[in-house]
Structure 1
Amino acid sequence: MMRRQMLVAGALVLAGCAAKAPPQPASSLQLPSGWRAQAEGAPAGAAQVEQLWWQAFGDPVLSELVATALVHNGDLRVARARVQEFRARLAQANANRSPTVGYDSSATRTRTLDYTGAPYMTNVFQVELQASYEIDVWGRDDKLREAAGESYRAEQASLDAAALSIAASVATAYLNLRGLDAQLALTQSTLQLREQSRELARKQYEVGYSSQLEWLQAQSEYHAAAEQVPQLQRQIFEQENALALLVGGNPGTVARGRELASLTPPPVPAGLPSELLRRRPDIARAEHNLAASNASLAATRDQLLPSFKLSAAGGGQTTTLHDFVHAPIALWNLTALVSGPLFDGGRVQAQTDAAGAQREQLAYTYENVVRNAFAETENSLGAIHRLQQQAVENAARRATAAETLRIAHNRYRNGYASYLEELDAQRTLYSADVGLLQLKTRILVASVDLYRAMGGGWVARPWRD
């Protein structure tokens, strides 16, 4: 009994030699019970977040571009290589649990003098096997393996976050490209109408039916529309190059799928704020980094504790090669070692304090990531809601502009008004049409932002293979 009590007391004394780790800061994170904004026509349960959410747009070309990017994008290749690196680090940490076994062999020929001063030659042949194993009494190796495992899982989440970002970037670039295509088609169509109006105004001016002002105004409107064509073509050219780079190719043309008018935003996905904690890969990454920091802090703190090692060596030695092969002299040793620091000038405690400060940084980072996720989701929901309201007003404005143009055209044709009224009505309708296309594009892009904010798609992980 006395011996057992002494062993327990000794263990407690040794455990007290560990450095003092600061406590983890209390969390100030509070999860909201629901979202402030919700898009019209989509109550909070309309649709779940789909794994391959980009397919919800119904454009096979878009789906193909995203699939290609998830395989060939350069940033994803870098992220996959980092996952492989941390997988190897985890395997290295797991290997520390196993004993190390090695060998040492030598053949030595020596010329020396005997007691009479006469030289003589000696041969020594030796082979030795060594094995050593550290007993993890305090669980420090387990903590290091836990830290390596959490770091590996954090890198996997980083890969998922990169894949989600790439998929959303490809979808956004493609939808913006289709929006620019639609604007170019509208501008070219408008340019043809402006050319007809310019020719009509020129003929009427030449016969004296209208003034030179009307003809010059029609010519100015034609050039204004023509100016938009190369500008839109330049934007399309640059957008194609950017999209081609995203999918892992060289700058060049990009295939087209459905027209902008036939693309519809998918239903607004449902989800409570707490579900973001399980879906968003950046939150998972921050959580794993925090867990790895906790494990590393515990391992750093235990450096002051003594370590226990067992080592054994055995082999044979002889002075002739024949005896070495058939009957060498057996040599062996067995060692039990206990070692630990007596004085380090506060080095381990300083390392522990630094690890504790890093743990606090990661704890605060985790809270910031979660709050930012809530804000991004709120902003995306609010954007869809306001853009839908704006689209309603734009439709009403366009209808009014179309009717105004019809009346102005009839008044001009019947001689009750000048051509300037019709030109002004044409400008108003063109502006409304451009606004309609831009709003359609922005609603589609806002849907992509919402899927990105809600972590859609990352749990499927088709990009890891």
Structure 2
Amino acid sequence: MRFFEPKRLIIVAAVTQLWACTPGPEYLKPDVAVPAHWSTEAPWHQGKPDDAALKGPWWELFGDADLNALEQQAMAHSPNLELAAAKLEQAKATATVASAGLYPSLDLTGGAARSKTSKNRPLASPTAQHISMTQNDFTLGLGVNYEADIAGRVSSSVKAAQASTEQAQADLENAKLLLAAELASDYFSLRELDAEVAVVKESINLQRKALEFVSARHDLGAASGLDVAQQQAQLDATLTQIDALQQQRARFEHAIATLTGTPAPSFSLPEKVLTPKQPEIPVALPSDVLQRRPDVASSERAMAAANAQIGVAKAAFYPSVMLSPKIGLESATLGSLFSASSLLWSFGVSAVQTIFDAGRNQGNLDYSQAGYQATVASYKQAVLTAMQEVEDGLSGSAILSRAANNAQNAVASSQRVLDLATARYEGGIGTHLDVIAAQQGLLASQRQSVQIAGQQSQVAVYLVKAVGGGWGKQ
């Protein structure tokens, strides 16, 4: 038959491939209601979205060399990042495997055998003679296997694998963002505790001097034993605060060690009091923020992958067609193996159509469609969470800015109260209880001021995370 001439085989393959262009469901990203502007009033600086720009190292905006070194160490040694990077490599490999289905596979086979036939074997015809034969058999062949993608199973699998790879890439970026943000948050919490410890230690020094003064007055008979006992109790209570703060600091120090890939027992961070730098974090419009958030991108790519899986499930309802042309050589002698008379070939087409599967294919399709709806819900939730976090960051930044000014005023007022109470007590017209109350008020105001400054740094980190990373150095 001349049907199997090469030109005709090419035509058959081309027609089959055109037939294969049956797409799965078209992927359309669902619309999500996004406000045009943030509700929080200025001050906040609007940034221009540019995903090609560097989103890190955004932590350098805070101008802290220790934080910069810790972040670099975390990026290089964090097991969580190694895990996310390994998953990305797996996704890339899966995409490579899926893409290979778009092309035919070629198999080269070869063999050499020597065999002896039985003289008593059944004869092929009545005229044949019973003889035994010993002979060689040399073969060399090239086989092709190709699935005609009639219903788009292969192409849908490729789309799903590519979307999953992009999702894994977004997950890696999100892991980096979360790691950097958590490390910065723990770092500023630790430094805020350092500042609180410094404030408490300064208060302890003042209270010890006050105790010495009261004790001296008591020795001269100008102060009562109650005054001495009250001042001693105040000093003891303040000393207790140091231990509580050190315990909290140790927990943050251990957390930082883990984030940087260092065993906690071999990690230490010397105490240091910072003057927090509060950088201006540019914030884009809500619609632009969604383009930068890696967790939102991951959720969107998960939708695309789930949509493609519906195409894979639908393809199971259509025939599966395999093309398997083969060409080769076979000869009883090695010397004549490559002669024209040793040529052999075949062309085969096989098709399988499921007639009855007790609802298995329909169940798989229903499962895929439900899985897609789940990813849609997850994407909508990710968008809502992103909007919430940015609003929280903006409002928190504005509120804490006002609170910081009020806290500084409170410290100044508390200091004046202590000065007046001390002067009145030394002048003999005030009670020592007034001095104790003034000491407590000053310490509370100072600690509150330090805590608010730490919260400002925390909120700045939170806002950077909420907008999907930094916008480059400002």
TM-score range, shorter chain: 0.7 to 0.9
**Which residue matches 2:39?**
36
- Render the CA deviation track for 1:17-39: whole Å, top value 9, x for unaligned: x9998x99995731112112246
Task: Using the TM superposition, give the Cα deviation of residue 119 of structure 1 relative to its aligned residue in structure 2, in angstroms.
Answer: 5.7
Name the stretch that deviates more: 139-148 or 149-158.
139-148
- Asked whether 1:112 is paired with 2:133, we answer no
8 Å CA contact retained: 1:241, 1:253: yes
CA change 1:351–1:47 in 2 (3 A) is closer
State the AA in 1 paired with 2:44. Answer: A
Aligned twin of 1:4? none
C-alpha contact (below 8 Å) 1:47/1:268 kept by paired residues: no
> Counterpart in 1 of 2:290?
277
Partner of 1:135: 148
Task: Report the more deviating stretch, 297-306 or 200-209.
Answer: 200-209
State which drifts further: 221-230 or 272-281.
Answer: 221-230
**Structure 2 residue 328 is the aligned partner of structure 1 residue 307:** no
CA distance in 1: counterparts of 2:223 and 2:386, whole angstroms: 62
Which of 240, 260, 266 is the matching residue for 2:274?
260
The 8 Å contact of residues 300 and 348 in structure 1, kept in 2 or not, is answered as: yes
Could you tell which deviates more after superposition, 326-335 or 187-196? 326-335
For 2:176 and 2:271, the matched residues in 1 are separated by 23
Aligned equivalent of 2:103: 98
Letter in 2 for 1:414: G
Shift of 1:332: 1.9
Among residues 303, 315, 318, which one is paired with 2:331 in the alignment?
318
CA contact (8 A) 1:405 1:426 kept: yes
Q: 2:64 aligns with which of 59, 62, 66?
A: 59
Selected match of 1:76 from 58, 65, 81: 81
> What is the CA–CA distance in structure 2 between the aligned matches of 1:273 and 1:111, rounded to whole Å?
82
Inter-partner Cα distance in structure 1 for 2:49 and 2:334: 81
Distance 2:413 2:67 in 1: 35
Residue 157 of structure 2 contacts residue 312 of structure 2 at CA under 8 Å; is this kept in 1? yes
Q: Percent identity?
A: 28
CA displacement at 1:274 relative to structure 2 = 0.3
RMSD: 3.0
Which AA in structure 2 matches 1:29? V
- 2-side partners of 1:342 and 1:19: how far apart? 22
CA distance in 2, matches of 1:359, 1:421: 68
Partner of 2:217: 204
CA distance 1:256–1:266, change in 2 (3 Å): farther
Output the TM-score relative to the length of structure 1: 0.87
In 2 relative to 1, CA 56–47 (structure 1 residues): closer, same or farther, beyond 3 Å?
farther
Deviations 1:55-107 (A, max 9, x none): 11111221222122122111011000000000111111111122111125252
CA gap 1:120/1:459 in 2 versus in 1, 3 angstroms = farther
Where does structure 2 lack aligned partners over 5 or more consecutive residues?
Answer: 1-15, 122-128
Shift in CA distance, 230/155, structure 1 to aligned 2, threshold 3 Å: same
TM-score normalised per structure 2: 0.85
For residues 228 and 294 of structure 1, do their structure 2 counterparts lie closer, same or farther at Cα, with a shift above 3 Å needed? same
- 1:180 aligned to 2:193? yes
Q: Is the 8 A contact 1:134 1:310 kept in 2?
A: yes
The secondary structure found in structure 2 opposite 1:304 is coil
Tell me, yes or no, if structure 1 residue 399 matches structure 2 residue 412: yes
Task: Give the superposition deviation at 1:330.
Answer: 2.8
C-alpha separation in 1, matches of 2:300 and 2:139: 54
Deviation at 1:324, TM superposition (A): 4.6
1:421 is the counterpart of 2:458: no
Deviation at 1:367, TM superposition (A): 0.6
- In the alignment, does 2:345 pair up with 1:337? no
Residue 400 of structure 1 deviates from its aligned partner by 1.6
